[in-house]
Amino acid sequence: MLGVAIYAVICLALVQYGYLRVTAPAFNFLLGVWAAGFLGLLLADDTTGRFDRGNLTLTKAVWCNLGVVATALLVPHPVRLLLLVVPLLGILYAALHLLRQQMFVVAAVTLLSYLLGALIVSRFGGADLQFEVLLALAFTAMVVAMALMAAEVTALRAAFERRRDALNKAMEQLADLAMRDELTGL
């Protein structure tokens, strides 16, 4: 909720300074993205309990990245570049809490939503096509690079968890040996 509140303040500042193009269709689009994400959060089947601990789940990661990408598509180019950094951090953060395949889903959905949105903006928004193509290529390269780095982070996290589990098992065995007589078993 804090993240959504900060995002709302940023959007209000962008509107106040004239950087966010808020036409009725654009507002409805943004509202739809955020409402769909909120509905997804409510309906998410999270049997692992990760949602209750406040960690970033797949639904949260996709929702947040889609919302920021949708907002980035509605602002002028210089501000768009700044906003497109946020989904990259979302991909990296997803690597800390999700499985590798889930992190790749977040990266793919982020990239595809931006490419589709950029196509729509170029087609109907009268944007500079050359700049949009260059920005799409750069964003694609950044998302791929971030996904590869995040995959390494995910692998390191998984290795750490395996080592922690092995250490916990060894500690249990050591505690058992310290408490039990080896000869009598008492």
- Domain total for the chain? 1
Asked whether residue 186 is domain-assigned, the answer is no
pLDDT one digit per residue (tens) for the chain, 186 residues: 566 667 777 777 777 777 776 666 766 777 777 777 667 666 665 555 544 444 457 878 888 888 888 888 887 777 788 888 889 988 888 888 888 888 899 999 999 999 998 888 787 766 778 888 888 999 999 999 999 998 998 889 889 999 999 999 999 988 888 888 777 777
d(CA 57, CA 63): 10
Distances (CA, A) of 3 to 8, 32, 61, 97, 148: 9, 18, 12, 17, 26
Distance between CA atoms of 44 and 58, rounded to whole angstroms?
9
For residue 34, CA distances in Å to 8, 45, 54, 65, 69 come to: 11, 19, 19, 10, 11
Nearest in space to 121 (alpha carbons), one of 84, 75, 79, 81: 75
Structure tokens at 12: 């209000």
DSSP of 27-40, one letter per residue?
Answer: HHHHHHHHHHHHHH
> Is residue 17 domain-resident?
yes
Question: Does residue 184 belong to any structural domain of this protein?
Answer: no
Q: Tell me the whole-structure pTM to 2 decimals.
A: 0.71
Is 134 a member of any domain? yes
Residue 185 domain-assigned? no
Going from the C-alpha of 156 to that of each of 48, 83, 96, 153, the distances in angstroms are 21, 28, 10, 5
Flag whether 85 is in a domain. Answer: yes
Please indicate, yes or no, if residue 63 is contained in any of the structural domains. Answer: yes
- Residue pair 100/154 in contact by the 8 Å Cβ criterion: yes
Query: Is residue 95 one of the residues assigned to a domain?
Result: yes
Could you list the residue range(s) of the whole structural domain that residue 155 is in? 2-179
